[in-house]
């Protein structure tokens, strides 16, 4: 049975909404895949499901008109959907590779895969499953992040945004300083600059250090002492946990 135009529009609109909400959370975290990417993935997966339904309906209609075609015409309900699930992995891998060697972007890759699954479900008309799963995805991305941030703060996890020149020498100095304070580096995340920035003719680097600060160390002094180094242009505490 072919879908009515209104039903098609409802499913596409729902796909746009789900992709927007999940993409909004990712974009608010400044991730490589944001609103547009998640919306397009969700819509694309929904379109694939709609096309699959139309193919099955067309095969059934043709066989109904000519029963002799039942041994010739076949329609695999899950084939196109399976291709979407496997194919979306390449897009997700791209979000991981863009983080310059850091094992980061796995959550965004997972959300792209989840959005594709949601789009397939919406396209097939499984509204309750799709909407319930979308609510869970958004809850996981928001509520669990708040919980994780609270746990990290209790452990003394802090983030510092640093802007500096002379990358190799400065990062070596920063590493020695942190070791002297018994501060452990959890991760170093370099910002993706679209335009090159220079400071007195030297390229400028911007990154965020995630650190575990011992209780005996004054975090404000750490920021002040690092900011006094000649090759460090700016040091700020990053309030947003990555």
The rounded distance, in Å, linking the Cα atoms of 75 and 58 is 9
- Convert the pLDDT of each residue in 104-124 to its tens digit: 677 888 899 999 999 999 999
- Convert the pLDDT of each residue in 209-218 to its tens digit: 888 888 888 8
Confidence (pLDDT) at 100: 46
Confidence (pLDDT) at 101: 44
Of 88, 143, 145, 86, nearest in space to 111 by CA: 88
pLDDT band at residue 132 using 50, 70 and 90 as cut-offs: very high
Stronger pLDDT, 237 or 104, i.e. the higher one: 237
pLDDT, averaged across the chain: 81
Return the half-sphere exposure (C-beta side, CA atoms, 13 A cut-off) of residue 235: 20
The rounded distance, in Å, linking the Cα atoms of 70 and 60 is 9
Per-residue pLDDT averaged across 58-67, rounded?
78
Stronger pLDDT, 66 or 228, i.e. the higher one: 228
Confidence (pLDDT) at 94: 67
Q: Given 3.40.50.720, 3.10.20.90, 3.30.70.260, 1.10.30.50, which CATH number is that of 155-237? A: 3.30.70.260
Confidence (pLDDT) at 152: 60
CA 132, distance to chain mean position in Å, is 20
- 0.75 exceeded by pTM: no
Stronger pLDDT, 29 or 214, i.e. the higher one: 214
Contact 175, 209 (CB under 8 A): no
Q: Which residues contact 38 (CB under 8 A, 6 or more apart)?
A: 19, 20, 22, 23, 26, 111, 112, 115
Per-residue pLDDT averaged across 42-51, rounded?
93
Range(s) for CATH 3.30.70.260 in the chain? 155-237
Residue matched to tokens 């379109």: 47
């Amino acid at each position: 049975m072919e879908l009515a135009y209104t039903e098609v529009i409802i499913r596409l609109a729902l796909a746009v909404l789900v992709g927007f909400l999940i993409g909004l959370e990712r974009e608010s975290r400044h991730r490589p895949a944001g609103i547009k990417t998640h919306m397009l993935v969700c819509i694309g997966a929904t379109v694939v499901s709609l096309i699959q339904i139309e193919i099955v309906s067309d095969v059934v209609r043709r066989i109904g008109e000519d029963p002799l075609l039942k041994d010739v015409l076949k329609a695999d309900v899950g084939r196109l959907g399976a291709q979407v699930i496997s194919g979306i992995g390449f897009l997700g891998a791209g979000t991981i590779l863009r983080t310059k060697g850091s094992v980061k972007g796995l959550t965004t890759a997972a959300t792209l895969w989840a959005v594709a699954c949601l789009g397939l479900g919406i396209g097939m008309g499984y509204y309750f499953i799709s909407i319930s799963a979308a609510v869970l995805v958004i809850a996981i991305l928001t509520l669990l992040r708040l919980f994780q941030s609270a746990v990290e703060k209790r452990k003394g996890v802090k983030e510092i945004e640093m802007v500096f020149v002379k990358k190799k020498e400065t990062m070596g100095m920063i590493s020695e300083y942190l070791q002297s304070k018994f501060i452990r580096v959890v991760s170093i995340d370099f910002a993706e600059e679209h335009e090159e920035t220079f400071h007195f003719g030297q390229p400028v680097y911007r990154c965020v250090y995630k650190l575990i600060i011992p209780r005996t160390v004054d975090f404000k002094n750490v920021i002040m002492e690092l900011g006094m180094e000649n090759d460090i242009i700016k040091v700020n505490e990053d309030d947003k946990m990555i």
